[in-house]
Amino acid sequence: MDYLTRSLQFAAQNSAFRFHPMCKNLKLISLCFADDLLVFCKGSLSSVQVIKGVLREFSSVTGLHLNENKSQIFFGGISEAEKRILAAEMNLSEGIFPLKYLGVPMRPTKWKHEDCDVIIQKIKRNLHTWASRHLSYAGRMQLIHSVCLPKALGGLRFRNGQKWNHAILAKFIWAISEKVDLLWVKWINSIYLKGADFWSYKVPPDTSWYWRKLCSLRGKYNRDEIMAAGVSGKFCPARIYSNSLHYQQVDYYKAVWCKLSLPKHRFLLWQVVNTHLLTLDNLCRFKVLAQVCDWLDGNIWPAEFDSWRVWLASRKSEFIDQVAVMILVASVYSTWRNRNNCIFELSSKSAVSIASEI
């Protein structure tokens, strides 16, 4: 395809060829997506004949031919008589807008909000299926309200969808401000900005909705914040996302997420210290923790869970401290599991038996 692209660019120097009016400033003649090719030119017979000659030469060199059954020609701003002449010249049928590419409708006019409905509906269906299959109502509520924070801030390192989306979109603003050598950046500067500074640019009332949405991010981030997220020529969305979170760091998160503990044990301890565990008020009534403390010859952690945050925050990175946390979380998990067995399976183990397993 590189050979074909170079051939088209060379042919564009022919005096008989005219660029598409929207592609003239960028001297854009073709776009390649995987094995698909889009070719643009002015709706004149001489321009179409130049393109036809390039495709004929490409076929003779490579043996690849234009599939007339899978290819179409699209027009805009010319008469019906001219359409028939150009379609006959290329021996292609006329395509009708909106054109669907990868399931998304494309049109020569401004992209409409409903054009994205097909994508939004697919995302919604996938999210609904995943949530209903793997999470209860209470689980979904907890996921929404309490986990969309980094672990250091007391969350589960899930990202807030809206804020993360804004952080990713900020990458486009950074690319425009840095004038990155990309086709779409050149297109924005040529068609929309026309030499104006992005940060002082006034959005016209009749502009496309997606460009208006992108420009609206200037109200969420300033120039310094976005430029600071660019490191060594690359944009880091995580940096600008982290700066948008205004929460106090919790001191106990390193102990809660100690790698010595099993993942399911860590998650339960996170629920305990954040008072999300429904059986939390019953933990102190069980004798398992006392049995484990006897086995360890002393009270390593506080008996009341209200003091566990302070105790976990005081743990250091030494191995002995990590072992103490690991035993605590294993004790909590075993007690919680036995309590559930009492309710749902009508079976229970003794405190001595559970402590022995721990």
pLDDT digits (tens, 9 = 90+) for 162-197: 888 999 999 999 999 999 999 999 989 888 898 899
Q: What pLDDT was estimated at residue 351? A: 82
Tens-digit pLDDT profile for residues 87-131: 999 999 999 888 877 777 787 777 777 777 777 888 787 777 665
Residue 149, helix vs strand vs coil: coil
- My answer on whether omega of the bond before 150 falls inside 30° of 0, hence cis, is no
Q: What pLDDT was estimated at residue 329? A: 86
Tens-digit pLDDT profile for residues 5-51: 899 999 999 999 999 998 988 899 998 887 788 999 999 999 999 99
| Alpha helical stretches, state H, the chain | 2-11, 45-62, 80-90, 117-134, 137-146, 161-178, 183-187, 209-216, 223-228, 237-243, 253-256, 263-273, 288-295, 308-313, 319-344, 351-357
Q: Per the structure block, which two tokens stand in for 327?
A: 């035993």
Domain extent listing, the chain: 2-96, 135-243, 253-357
Residue 119 phi/psi, 5-degree rounding, is: -70, -45
One DSSP character per residue, 174-235 reads HHHHHT-S-HHHHHIIIIIITT--GGGPPPPTTS-HHHHHHHHGGGTS-HHHHHHTEETTEE
The model's confidence at residue 280, banded by pLDDT at 50, 70 and 90, is low
Q: Indicate the Cα dihedral angle 143, 145, 148, 150, nearest 10°.
A: -110
Q: What pLDDT was estimated at residue 175? A: 94
Tens-digit pLDDT profile for residues 220-278: 999 999 999 998 889 999 889 888 877 777 888 888 888 888 888 888 888 888 777 76
Q: Per the structure block, which two tokens stand in for 219?
A: 């109200």
Residue 292, helix vs strand vs coil: helix
- Find tokens 């952690």 and name the residue: 301
CB 225 within 8 A of CB 231: no
- Length reported for the chain: 358
| pLDDT > 70? residue 283 | no
CB atoms within 10 A of CB 154: 19
- Find tokens 């209200």 and name the residue: 306
Indicate the pTM of the whole model.
0.64
- Cα separation of 17 and 45, whole Å? 9
CB 39 within 8 A of CB 33: no
Query: Which residue type, as a one-letter code, is found at position 5?
Result: T
Q: Per the structure block, which two tokens stand in for 286?
A: 């069980």
- Residues 80-118 as b or e (16 or more Cβ within 10 Å = b): eeeeeebbeebebeeeeeeeeeeeebeeeeebeeebeee
Give the H/E segment covering residue 99. strand 99-101
For residues 57-62, average pLDDT: 92
Q: What percent of the chain has pLDDT over 70?
A: 91
